[in-house]
Structure 1
Amino acid sequence: MRTSMLKATKTITNSKVIEVKAGQTFDGAWARYDRGSGACNEQAEGGDADAVFLLRKGATLKNVIIGKNQAEGVHCDGACTLEFVWFEDVCEDAITVKNDAAGDHTWIIGGGAYHASDKVVQHNGCGTVNIINFYAEDYGKLYRSCGNCSKQCKRNVYVEGTTTKNGGELVGINSNYGDTATLKNVCTDAKTRCQMYTGCAGGCEPKKAGVCSG
């Protein structure tokens, strides 16, 4: 597992989001992609239009470096796959997964993220997010099940072979909605490996509810 990025072959700046259609694969050939200087609004919540890439259901993004000039990194509209995607300097969230249904699996394989003051992976859908052989350094949370989405549901996260440094919580899940978290062969100095929350639906603030057992 790599703990550092390859050097970008070139930088490609786009004025709008790159959409990868359902079932298709986008191979970035190790180029750096961003949205131009000043794109990061430091935790201003953005939408699909603010992302560097928007992956439709079943799409794959691979061999890409997401540069620091972006408000949102990768948005998945439905379950998706990321292979060896690196984030130089996360602005809001690196990866947002939404509109995935129960039984759907999103795969984040290899790659890594630096300087995510809040979350690396934000999960708003209802499926399972698998994080395999990933590296994160200087982050708030590696994974967070949405604490106050207007539509709430059970979510699952599986983390294996992953290394994290200088972070807060590894994963945060909503115990009251039946979320599950499985951690296997994880190397981390996080003070909290799995934090439970009492989630709520829309316009509210979730509260911590102890650490996970097992």
Structure 2
Amino acid sequence: MTRKTIVGITALFVALGFSANAFAAKDYPDGFTKCAQNKGESCSFSGTRQVALGKSGDFVYGTFTGGVTCSSSNFPSNSYPGSAWCSYGPAGSGGDTGGGTDTGGSSSSGTSNSCGSGGGTEVCVSASGGNGSVSLSWNVSGSVTDQQVYRDTDSNPSGRTRLSSVGSNPRSFTDNSASNGTTYYYWIKFRANGTYYNSGVASATPSGSSSGGGSTGGGSSGSYGSSCNGGNTTTVTATIRVEDGGTFDGGCNTYNGGGALGDGSQDEGQDPIFRVGPGLVRNVYIGGNGADGIHTRNGGDVDNVHWSDVGEDAMTIKDPTNGASVYANNIEGYDSADKFLQANDDATWTVNNCRVDNAGKFLRQNGGTTFPLHVDVTNCDISNMGEGIFRSDSSNSTARITNSRLSNSGDTCIGSWSSCSSSGITNY
């Protein structure tokens, strides 16, 4: 998790009026006081405070009284290096904002804090899986902008897997990959303005489905995709480059292509809004001119990105990637005339929690190429594909889609593949 933020080139700063450190990432959140390094040092304060552990703009949070030893073992994640810092929030930051209410509904087990709490910035519920599905619902008081849902079959939060982001109220999430009869532990983390905190979730109500895997009816996208809805708009006239392990966090603001980036059409010569790799672009809303979206090289990843109107492509794996792993989590996009995802070099591409509607194809390997591409798609809602989901001309490539919802999606596998499969699919 040790990353630095590297954004753009000098021309971009001049064109947009940014200073050279406009996106500098600090080792403590705004309003917090740095107090100790992650080497077992003591962080002391009065009263109950929210405490952040992190580095370079990436943090986890806990709530403590009278002080805490700055050690990864005291926080929800244990992966922060010794060079990370603890910092404490202002007086009163550790308090519950109160007012959450149980949404009701059938519950086989579980209320808030019924399993490992992970440091006070989340609630946890346990639930027994029905026939392929567990639904969670909850209400939150206060101006919460994002919830993250995690799952494990053990109550220890250290090994849990992130499933989804949830944004709207009332909050809900359906886990379509739950096995019948298995007890799962779900953690709900919540935040506002980029900061995780104890938001007043009084309880969450789980219910197991007995009617088969997947949600049913209506074509609703549920909680699939990105939680970003757009915010302050920046017109990008020169590609923003995020490299050398850096992170760009857009705060779910809107980024539109402009100037030399093109007009967001199907012109193959357009440049991307972001070029990432190795590194991470997250919490970005791409507006009406998506240019050529996001280019990734050398294992560049994206998380929580929304394309409101896809230009030439939403995301493209470019040379060099050389077999690196590429992750696209919590992504959402609309109106891609040709393809949503494009692969121009060999890679292992993992896509988790997506919502894609109205595209020619969900994913295309560059036509006529035979390099090995390995694609794994799970927990997605894909609808209205003009041709289909996966297309390749390479007998060296593999593709798989699991635990997803499809509507008017065309053929799953088109062209030559070493293997191409689907399982756990709900058609609506």
TM-score, normalization: structure 1? 0.83
Tell me, in whole angstroms, the C-alpha distance in 1 between the residues paired with 2:348 and 2:269.
23
* 1:123-168, Cα deviation, whole Å (9 max, x unpaired): 011111111111101111111111135xx41111110011111113
What does 1:188-199 align with in structure 2 at a 5 Å threshold? Answer: 188-189=406-407, 190-197=409-416
Alpha-carbon distance, 1:5 to partner: 5.5
Aligned residue in 2 for 1:107? 327
In the alignment, which of 136, 139, 163 is matched to residue 356 of structure 2?
136
CA contact (8 A) 1:26 1:60 kept: yes
Tell me, in whole angstroms, the C-alpha distance in 1 between the residues paired with 2:246 and 2:328.
16
CA contact (8 A) 1:147 1:197 kept: no
Aligned residue in 1 for 2:385? 167
Code of the residue aligned with 2:336 in structure 1: it is: A
Aligned residue in 1 for 2:255? 33
Tell me, in whole angstroms, the C-alpha distance in 2 between the residues paired with 1:81 and 1:114.
20
Please give the root-mean-square deviation of Cα atoms over the aligned residues, in Å.
Answer: 2.2
Aligned residue in 2 for 1:61? 281
Alpha-carbon distance, 1:39 to partner: 2.9
Regions of 4+ moved over 4 Å: 211-214
CA contact (8 A) 1:15 1:35 kept: yes
In the alignment, which of 258, 262, 273 is matched to residue 52 of structure 1?
273
Q: 1:60 to 1:41 in 2, by over 3 A?
A: closer
Tell me, in whole angstroms, the C-alpha distance in 1 between the residues paired with 2:327 and 2:226.
20
Code of the residue aligned with 2:390 in structure 1: it is: V
Code of the residue aligned with 1:179 in structure 2: it is: S
Aligned residue in 2 for 1:72? 292
CA contact (8 A) 2:224 2:379 kept: no
In the alignment, which of 286, 289, 310 is matched to residue 90 of structure 1?
310
CA contact (8 A) 1:196 1:212 kept: no
CA contact (8 A) 1:173 1:181 kept: no
Code of the residue aligned with 1:97 in structure 2: it is: I
Aligned residue in 1 for 2:404? 186
TM-score, normalization: structure 2? 0.43
Alpha-carbon distance, 1:40 to partner: 2.1
CA contact (8 A) 2:307 2:314 kept: yes
- SS of 2:229's partner is coil
* 1:53-107, Cα deviation, whole Å (9 max, x unpaired): 0112x210100011121321101122111101110101101101122112x1100
Q: Give % identity.
A: 28
Higher strand proportion: 1
Tell me, in whole angstroms, the C-alpha distance in 1 between the residues paired with 2:303 and 2:266.
25
CA contact (8 A) 1:195 1:212 kept: no
Aligned residue in 2 for 1:122? 342
Mean CA deviation greater in 35-44 or 79-88 = 35-44
CA contact (8 A) 1:139 1:166 kept: yes
Tell me, in whole angstroms, the C-alpha distance in 2 between the residues paired with 1:119 and 1:181.
16
- SS of 2:273's partner is strand
Aligned residue in 2 for 1:206? none
Alpha-carbon distance, 1:41 to partner: 5.4
Tell me, in whole angstroms, the C-alpha distance in 2 between the residues paired with 1:170 and 1:93.
15
Bigger RCO of structures 1 and 2 (CA < 8 A, at least 6 apart): 1
Tell me, in whole angstroms, the C-alpha distance in 1 between the residues paired with 2:267 and 2:380.
28
Unaligned runs of 5+ in 1: 199-210
